[in-house]
Structure 1
Amino acid sequence: MIKKLLVPTDFSEQADQAFEVACQLAKRYNAQLHLIHLIEFPHTILESVTGTQRFEPPEALFFLKMAQKSFQELKSQPCAKGIEIIEMVKFNNIYQGILDYAKSESIDTIIMGSHGTSGFEELFIGSNTEKIVRHATRPVLVIKKQHIHFKVKTLVFATDLDDDNVKPLKKAFEFAEAEEATLKLVYINTPDRFETTEKITSLFETFSAKINKTINDFEIYNDLKVERGIMNYAKNLNADLIAIGTHGRKGLAHFFNGSLSEDLVNHAKRPVLTFKI
Structure 2
Amino acid sequence: MKKILVPIDFSEHSEYALETAAAIAKEHNSEIFVLHMLEISSAVYTASRDSLSDAGVFYFKLAEKKMNTFLDRKFLEGIEITPIVKHFKVFKEINEIVDAHAIDLIVMGSHGASGVKEVMVGSNAEKVVRYSNVPVLIVKYNPILVEFDSVIFASDFSEDAVASYLRAKSTFEKLGSNMHIIYVNTPDNSFKSSTEIDVLVTKFLKRAEGNLDNYPNVYVVSDYSVEKGILNFANNIGADLVAIVTHGRRGLSHFFEGSISEDIANHSTLPVMTFKI
Fold shared by both chains (TM-score > 0.5): yes
Partner of 1:221: 221
CA contact (8 A) 1:39 1:94 kept: no
Partner of 1:53: 51
Report the TM-score when normalising by structure 1.
Answer: 0.92
Count of matched residue positions in the alignment of Structure 1 and Structure 2? 272
Amino acid at match of 1:154: S
Runs ≥4 residues deviating over 6 A? none
Amino acid at match of 1:52: D
Deviation of 1:265 after TM superposition, in Å, equals 1.1
**Structure 1 96/219 Cα, relative in aligned 2: closer, same or farther at 3 Å?**
closer
Deviation of 1:81 after TM superposition, in Å, equals 0.6
Which consecutive residues of structure 1, in runs of 5 or more, have no partner in the other structure? none
Q: What is the Cα-based RMSD across aligned positions, in Å? A: 1.6
Give the whole-Å Cα distance in 2 for the aligned partners of 1:167 and 1:91: 32
Structural mapping, 1:1-277, within 5 Å: 2-42=1-41, 43-47=43-47, 50-57=48-55, 60-61=57-58, 63-93=59-89, 95-192=91-188, 193-212=190-209, 214-215=213-214, 216-277=216-277
Give the whole-Å Cα distance in 1 for the aligned partners of 2:50 and 2:139: 34
SS in 2 for 1:191: coil
Deviation of 1:143 after TM superposition, in Å, equals 0.8
Give the whole-Å Cα distance in 1 for the aligned partners of 2:63 and 2:50: 21
Q: Deviations over 1:204-236 (max 9, x none)?
A: 111111232611211110100011111111111
SS in 2 for 1:142: strand
**Structure 1 81/35 Cα, relative in aligned 2: closer, same or farther at 3 Å?**
same
SS in 2 for 1:33: strand
Give the whole-Å Cα distance in 1 for the aligned partners of 2:181 and 2:32: 30
CA contact (8 A) 1:75 1:81 kept: no
Deviation of 1:65 after TM superposition, in Å, equals 4.4
Give the whole-Å Cα distance in 2 for the aligned partners of 1:234 and 1:4: 28
Give the whole-Å Cα distance in 1 for the aligned partners of 2:92 and 2:46: 16
Give the whole-Å Cα distance in 2 for the aligned partners of 1:152 and 1:53: 43
CA contact (8 A) 2:2 2:30 kept: yes
Give the whole-Å Cα distance in 1 for the aligned partners of 2:50 and 2:60: 17
Give the whole-Å Cα distance in 1 for the aligned partners of 2:92 and 2:248: 14
Deviation of 1:94 after TM superposition, in Å, equals 5.4
Which consecutive residues of structure 2, in runs of 5 or more, have no partner in the other structure? none
Give the whole-Å Cα distance in 2 for the aligned partners of 1:210 and 1:46: 52
Amino acid at match of 1:179: L
Amino acid at match of 2:176: E
Give the whole-Å Cα distance in 2 for the aligned partners of 1:79 and 1:145: 16
Give the whole-Å Cα distance in 2 for the aligned partners of 1:51 and 1:73: 28
SS in 1 for 2:227: helix
Deviation of 1:121 after TM superposition, in Å, equals 0.4
SS in 2 for 1:54: coil
**Structure 1 24/94 Cα, relative in aligned 2: closer, same or farther at 3 Å?**
farther
Give the whole-Å Cα distance in 2 for the aligned partners of 1:83 and 1:258: 38
SS in 2 for 1:35: strand
SS in 1 for 2:208: coil
